[in-house]
Structure 1
């Protein structure tokens, strides 16, 4: 055992791999022998019960010796093997680094070879017009350059030179492809200085199409056309070319064909040049293009393009689909805006005929899908055509509002006469739902009411719920007719359309309420004639709004509780009254301004003062006469008389107040004041001329005291100005006479003091003025 360990220790530091393995093998055998001896000893001690204490101790020493040998060998292995292992790893790393460098150089050389090969193939293919191969080889060359750029140790000058070369070759390829593309589609466009606003400006537009072939060679077009398009796609230029082509196509050909009904497209074939699309002008009276004509013209253009150029697929996608994606949205919006909008029916009776337009739109899109221009099942164009009910309602509402605004902004002085017999011309409406039963009940109720009315001694006048004779603006009558026509359109329409039309009619009246007073504000204040007409207009509208809603209620799909138009009535009445009252205030202000020049009707014994006062009274009478002529046959008779009476009463009140304020009235002053009062008393009734027929106005002239509250006061004060004390006392009649009705005690006493000097007779008379 000791010799074995000594041998192992003697060889430390110089172990080779074979010796080490051999020694490990020997040590392993020694361990096995020791293990067998220990096992044998245990068997003898514990199984055979043979005393072997001494042998066990020897074996113990032997095990400890072997354990020490193992530890020493382990230490030797760790030191020696690990040192050799570190050296081996370092050497391996150097070899690996050298190998990687060699491999990279080989890859670099391989990329350079691939670049050179690709460029040579590119030039060869370009000369042969094999554009697809040229594009692919250019792609390979670019990939080689990109690979060189990715290698960090590449010499920069080399990479820059190759990058520059590949860029130059790409531009060269694109140039050749552009030249070929220009041969495929040659445009003849109007001058850039020409304004594209008329049909004539587009008559020079033409598009020459050929499939890229040379003269007399029929096989080349089929091969060269896909090659050009495929090469453009590989270079990423197809989309750009198609976008530019689509813009020109839409601007100079498709859009004019859609907008102008007189423009048509003509397709002609020229030998050795392919097809030619040109725009021509035809005679037509249509203001807007018909959908079927638009679809036909657009399909003619796109079908020719499909047959001549775009019957090619690139990566399982047709070229026509690329063009369709680029122009469809703008083209469909243009068709909707310039064509379909104007094709929407103006009357609900024409809606049924619109199904033909829907079918034409479906066929149009179906043709586009077959050629590849359109993908998908639902488009905005077809949705718009199918949603005709909604568009009809919107268009109708828009047209109605525009027409209403035009009427509201028109001149108001053109009037029509309204009589009690006037009725709204409501078209015949279908029988409302509810059937025969409701009509029978309605007949029974009406018969019952008729029976009751016959039994009553007093019956209402047939003109009870009718408008009085007056004049209204012709535009307002047309506005009401427009409202009725719109409501009639709502009857029988779809529920959504009916509701929309109903609220449009409400909006008409809201618009009138807001627009007319603002638009004609100055005229209403300056021109009493227009103020009177506006008053009548508002009352006319309010009158008919009371029943208009109920006449159409059975035919409209509105929920219960809808106010229809009744809620608008008070507002219109206030609007008319407010307008006329404002004009009345203007007239009152003018009248008081004229009377203010009369110098308070004092000192009339002065000729100058009397002349000024007389002139003021004459001006007031003239103002009333002028207003009477302006309002004659315009205002209803009762409104006319109340208005003139109110203004006359204002003048009378002002005159009476001024007289009552005088503290000293001489005989001359009294006579002249009485003259002024008599002027009003004589000429005041003559301003009441509500009717054009002079012989019919006498009745209203006799009723002046009804409309001018101070009329009798004026008469009494005129009498007092020319009476003596006894006559005044007699008319007072102890507070029961005519004077006592018009004047208070203090007013009468003040007037007596101003007229008469302070005497016993005056004192006696004043004592009798009591109530």
Structure 2
């Protein structure tokens, strides 16, 4: 029967889009249904299957199935009534058997533990009879291990307590004997005194049955690694490290006996070749004595190496081999000889099986040779610079030019017009003294320090960029170190000795002078290299100058205070209350002149001439000002005192010019010099003389004295007369 599509049939019946009624469509539907019935009958008629026989067969099957169900129900009832009772009885018997089996297993486990303990005891006895540490300790160790996890119920037996206690006691005794035997095989001793330490190593390890028995016994009870570790740490801390750090003598007394003598000397670090030679002797001895297998196809020497080789390598490199790195470029170029010796020593350590083969390198530090060389050079130069800075400043030398040229003649060169104009402007703008240093004295240490800095520069430009940059920064640190070290180390001298102050001032000026062009010299040598940092020392110039100025200023203040204290502690400070000065007034002035004369003797030739005359002029100027002030501030001066003051001040006029290299310098560098001379004239003169020097405001008195100062002096020196009143009326 072909597929029947209901939807298509309905669409056909109701396809008329016009209005329709149900009564109109019902006949069409009924007709379609009838047609379907006819088609179904025709289909069933033509079908090959016999529907009637199929239905009959189905009825028979239903009957048979029902019979089977009834039979199964019958079997179920029989099982529930008869078989189930037998099953319950079997389960009860099984439980009884299971409990019985548990009792048997419980007893069997206890018996097994008893038998096993007896077995271990028997093995121990056999080992003792055979004088074998390995068999004895293996049996006792197994017994103790087995007794730690006994079967259930075994702990409740008296046998357990006795066995555990006895086993542990026997094990302890065996270990004690075993340790004693080990100590006979591996003996170490340290005997220390104030002058030296003697380390004795006696290794009796031989390839024989007794030695192997002791080693195997220690390994079986898991104590061998502990003993080897202890011996390895002894080698590292008490033997290897002292050999690296101290002057030592390593000597093989016999095949089994080695002594290491450590000499206690201050600051006596051994050279690398001596250290390597001593280590070779020691490791050769150890290799001969420790080349015995102990566990996992590994020798005692290899086990010791595994324990300490990394720590030994680091200490050897950091505390010995790093010191072989040179601090100058010439030695660095020949450093390959040293690396070859170190490489041979590393190969030796691999041969004696202290180092794992091809897995550890002492020469790893050479990979950063540039960085290490830079650090070493920097440290060396800084230490050298500091040692120079702490030297005595009084060892001097003369430097500089006597006469600074007025102009610099430019050398003829094929330059274009714009360049020539620029150079001319530069030549006219810069002071002529910029590139010249005046004749003076400096400490030899200043020149020595400068020479060291030039060596640093010359070495830096020959090295790689890493080293060059490091040395450039170190050079700057040298001058910053100078600022920190010299004033502190020479503090007492700089506070008390004028010559030291002068030399320190000149040293600072000289170093600053050279730093003005030092960066340019460096850059010229670095021409053609690309730098990622600026090279300049100009910023340090003013710091050094200020350092020299600061200490010179402090010393000048001390000299000024000392002069003022001398004057103010004498009768010159109390003229107003006395009619006559005592001898201490003249003594104070003479003391000040002696002080200034001493400064002259110390400073002349040390300072540049222009600096000396300015400094001496400053002190004399202050001294003269103080003397004038002492008189001009007094309201009444007796005739006798005036005569004394005149004599004292005349002494100053006579002596002060000798304080200068050129006596005429006193007039140009001491402003109140003429005023002092006029003051002496007033002290010795009459009112007529004063009137003559006044000259109605046009004379020398009018030039060098204020009106009130002159009027005050006249009132203090002369009695109140008509002539004085007339003169005072003119001085306004």
TM superposition score normalised by structure 1: 0.75
Pick from 228, 239, 242: which aligns with 1:242? Answer: 228
Name stretches of at least 5 consecutive residues in structure 2 with no aligned partner. Answer: 1-50, 404-410
Q: Which residue of 1 aligns with 2:5?
A: none
* 1:211 equivalent in alignment to 2:233: no
Which shifted more, 717-726 or 539-548? 717-726
Q: CA deviation at 1:702?
A: 1.0
Pick from 102, 120, 124: which aligns with 2:122? Answer: 120
* 1:472 equivalent in alignment to 2:442: yes
Q: Which residue of 2 aligns with 1:715?
A: 677
Q: Which residue of 1 aligns with 2:354?
A: 373
* 1:522 equivalent in alignment to 2:492: yes
* 1:171 equivalent in alignment to 2:152: no
Q: Which residue of 1 aligns with 2:663?
A: 701
Q: Which residue of 1 aligns with 2:466?
A: 496
Q: Secondary structure at the match of 1:588?
A: helix
CA contact (8 A) 2:576 2:636 kept: no
Mapped to 2, the partners of 1:458 and 1:509 lie a distance apart of 31
Q: How many pairs were matched up? A: 669
Mapped to 1, the partners of 2:695 and 2:465 lie a distance apart of 76
Q: Which residue of 1 aligns with 2:727?
A: 765
Q: Which residue of 2 aligns with 1:24?
A: none
Q: Which residue of 1 aligns with 2:216?
A: 230
Q: Which residue of 1 aligns with 2:593?
A: 621
Mapped to 2, the partners of 1:325 and 1:457 lie a distance apart of 73
Cα deviations by residue, 1:525-553 (Å, 9 ceiling, x for unpaired): 22222222221121122112212222223
Mapped to 2, the partners of 1:81 and 1:444 lie a distance apart of 134
Q: CA deviation at 1:710?
A: 1.5
Q: Secondary structure at the match of 1:416?
A: strand
Alpha-carbon RMSD across the aligned residues, in angstroms, is 4.4
Q: CA deviation at 1:250?
A: 4.3
Mapped to 2, the partners of 1:535 and 1:239 lie a distance apart of 69
Mapped to 2, the partners of 1:491 and 1:581 lie a distance apart of 39
Change (3 A) 1:660 1:115: same
Mapped to 1, the partners of 2:427 and 2:131 lie a distance apart of 111
* 1:585 equivalent in alignment to 2:557: yes
Which shifted more, 738-747 or 679-688? 738-747
CA contact (8 A) 1:205 1:253 kept: no
Change (3 A) 1:449 1:116: same
CA contact (8 A) 1:340 1:385 kept: no
Q: CA deviation at 1:513?
A: 0.7
Pick from 740, 749, 756: which aligns with 2:702? Answer: 740
CA contact (8 A) 2:113 2:154 kept: no
Mapped to 1, the partners of 2:413 and 2:326 lie a distance apart of 39
Change (3 A) 1:727 1:75: farther
Q: Which residue of 2 aligns with 1:56?
A: none
Change (3 A) 1:307 1:486: same
Q: CA deviation at 1:757?
A: 3.5
Q: Which residue of 1 aligns with 2:23?
A: none
Correspondence 1:55-134 to 2 at 5 A: 92-134=94-136
Q: Which residue of 2 aligns with 1:408?
A: 389
Mapped to 1, the partners of 2:337 and 2:416 lie a distance apart of 47
Q: CA deviation at 1:652?
A: 1.1
Mapped to 2, the partners of 1:391 and 1:178 lie a distance apart of 47
CA contact (8 A) 2:389 2:486 kept: yes
Pick from 534, 540, 547: which aligns with 1:568? Answer: 540
Name stretches of at least 5 consecutive residues in structure 1 with no aligned partner. Answer: 1-42, 53-58, 213-220, 270-274, 423-440, 689-696
CA contact (8 A) 2:573 2:630 kept: yes
Cα deviations by residue, 1:284-327 (Å, 9 ceiling, x for unpaired): xx965454453344234334433443241512433322101223
CA contact (8 A) 1:421 1:466 kept: no
Q: Which residue of 1 aligns with 2:44?
A: none
* 1:363 equivalent in alignment to 2:325: no
Q: CA deviation at 1:100?
A: 2.2
